[in-house]
Structure 1
């Protein structure tokens, strides 16, 4: 994916910049696997004829077909799914699993939509690795051509392709058009069109790809409404009126950064929000240990620290995890470490302070609806600070050893996910 949108310049940013390529370039051999786990289960069902036809586009080395059929069963009753966002150009999933000591339960892949056959091949390469590793594919679909490109034909092809992946024994969670409350994407700040499109995609996916779930994932609301982005909503439009939730004629952090974009409970299986520690104050990237309880405060919209007061943001966990009853995911998380900056805290101090908060027993007890946490395992140039950032928790043997040691006993990994039963 080569991004076409420009990252905005605004206060707190909830994610790294989008100038990154997510292409699994190393393909491991297909392995016919039946993974048995106590935590997550699926039921066996007959492959629909459309899925069987679609499976011809999927990896074909297998002699058995299977179908993941029960979306709800992919949500662990106990524990939290641990996942990873890999830089496929530098590391394979088996290599990462060997370093970590565990095969992740969730693997993240990004794709444009609509997509060409060549683009989808990259997703199938990721599927190959997930199939051998075990677990779930979290597929983020980015309509960089705008929401008008998501035609019925595009959705139909997507559903056929997802059903084929499910028939290979790999469950999928689709994170469709994420960060829609931001102003930097072609689908951003268009609540009317976004909600309608998400509903159409979800309806088709739920009907035709029974092993695929839908995730709704806005950007963390610090800095809302992210003024100055290429796709910022224009005053005087119907969408502006919808986003002006307090009806004062202006868009500010006093407006609800999430609710106007919510598609409705029947269309949403998971809710997700990415949480990053970019530092405690401007300029970002100065290798600062995160403030105590920052992870939880961001998740609940109560953060009020040296990076700013975000306490006007709605409580994402309470509203969408508890009140709406959805499993909550952190699709991406990490803490910024900038190797070129000197005089700050050490890499281990910065990152361990962040993952300790995210993985703490207190976090697990306080947020029982939190069911997925995915680490952002990239080292890359970030346009926000115009410098190289190492987000990885396994970039050096010392950091990887500390990270692996601190993984909590309630994490669930690839071999905990029952993926496939014979037909």
Structure 2
């Protein structure tokens, strides 16, 4: 399961957000102008989908005299050793600079979301986000959400995206594009459409590789416990070409015996990074109870060895071995966290979250998964449809929890640069 949100809430928040975008564009335009990039050079925008309604947007405080340091090789963003540490959060509520102060490190990666294709309204938002990453981060993980339909991702749309990314790269900010994440789930309108999904991903990848060499492409499904989610909102129609593609064992049914990842893989030429959304939702379905994660769960899910809440999930493929090792791709965990339901009883928050981060940050994680190159913490406190209420995924909302988390960050993590120049920092 995933880092998805309520479509209705998202739509309302997006309308409120974009109605104010013009009011705070000028400081950002000044920042990118200082780097030699004009407003007309970037024609897209970035909206973090879970931004609370009514919140006052923050303007960028990036100095206008930052040095120019263009990024030219997006395929070289994975560190030779170590793992990039990032934040998946609302950067308006809590800027990257605040995370840096609280955790003692600048996050190396900042995750944000944009509806795709996008319109001119979004332009200033993208520049602001890029400026924030340039000042207080290192890499922008740009999540493109094709909510209209996959067919709307035309070659022209992909080419315009590449032009936008080239401008961001020229300002010193590398971008990794995560297109149509969690496509193997049921919670997004681009879900369970492997044929069109792969075609759309390839169109975007071709454009990005050709036009924005400082950017890279990430393919990132969700951990597939409970796959193939029969009868859910965005299920596949029996008898369709997509159904045939998903029925990998050709038995006429879709279930955990079918491969939940391979039908969606666009190919090695299109994919630079592979990623897997990996969360502790609980130990017993239905979700919503506060439960300490079982020992070894993180590694078990990543390798297909987890005997999980939906029955024995050890029939799932070894994602790490297949995609990170066999396809020789750097692996990202674009979002991870442990469920805490403030409205429920059960295990205490600290016990749940600490047990999860101890698994994620354990020495065994580094030893067992040398291809792991990125870990992003999911810092959201939001409503979850699966639970029917608010879930607090954060580790920085209270000082005691935040300090414990910061103290647990291992030495093998890599952080953002100190020069305010994206990947050019140290």
Q: Normalization by structure 1: what TM-score?
A: 0.86
**Does the 8 Å CA contact 1:331/1:374 hold for their aligned counterparts?**
yes
Distance change (3 Å), C-alpha of 1:254 and 1:97: same
Distance change (3 Å), C-alpha of 1:190 and 1:420: closer
DSSP-derived class of the 1:265 partner? coil
Q: Which residue of 295, 309, 313 maps to 1:310? A: 313
Q: Which residue of 222, 226, 240 maps to 2:225? A: 222
Q: How does 1:343-362 map to 2 (within 5 A)?
A: 344-362=346-364
Q: How does 1:224-373 map to 2 (within 5 A)?
A: 224-342=227-345, 344-373=346-375
The Cα shift of 1:88 comes to: 3.1
DSSP-derived class of the 1:173 partner? strand
Structure-2 separation of matches of 1:420 and 1:365: 26
Structure-2 separation of matches of 1:74 and 1:28: 30
DSSP-derived class of the 1:253 partner? coil
The Cα shift of 1:223 comes to: 1.1
Distance change (3 Å), C-alpha of 1:143 and 1:57: closer
56-65 or 315-324, which moves further after superposition? 56-65
Matched with 1:406 is 408
- The one-character-per-residue Cα deviations of 1:29-52 (angstroms, maximum 9, x if unpaired) are 66989xxxxxxxxxxxxx9xxx88
Structure-2 separation of matches of 1:174 and 1:296: 25
73-82 or 24-33, which moves further after superposition? 24-33
DSSP-derived class of the 1:267 partner? coil
DSSP-derived class of the 2:183 partner? coil
Q: Is 1:160 aligned to 2:163, yes or no?
A: yes
**Does the 8 Å CA contact 1:159/1:204 hold for their aligned counterparts?**
yes
Distance change (3 Å), C-alpha of 1:126 and 1:221: same
- The one-character-per-residue Cα deviations of 1:172-204 (angstroms, maximum 9, x if unpaired) are 000001111123322211111111111111011
DSSP-derived class of the 2:341 partner? coil
Q: Which residue of 189, 211, 215 maps to 2:214? A: 211
**Does the 8 Å CA contact 1:28/1:128 hold for their aligned counterparts?**
no
- The one-character-per-residue Cα deviations of 1:273-324 (angstroms, maximum 9, x if unpaired) are 0100011103422211100000000111111034532111111100000000
Q: Normalization by structure 2: what TM-score?
A: 0.86
Matched with 2:114 is 111
Question: Higher relative contact order by CA 8 Å / sep ≥ 6: 1 or 2?
Answer: 1
Structure 1 gap segments, 5+ residues each:
1-12, 34-46
| Aligned pairs, number | 393
Structure 2 gap segments, 5+ residues each:
45-59
**Does the 8 Å CA contact 1:141/1:177 hold for their aligned counterparts?**
yes
197-206 or 69-78, which moves further after superposition? 69-78
Q: Is 1:83 aligned to 2:78, yes or no?
A: no
- The one-character-per-residue Cα deviations of 1:185-233 (angstroms, maximum 9, x if unpaired) are 2221111111111111101100100111000011211111122233211
Distance change (3 Å), C-alpha of 1:359 and 1:416: farther
Q: Is 1:187 aligned to 2:190, yes or no?
A: yes
**Does the 8 Å CA contact 2:416/2:423 hold for their aligned counterparts?**
no
- The one-character-per-residue Cα deviations of 1:67-99 (angstroms, maximum 9, x if unpaired) are 211223210011100000112342111112111
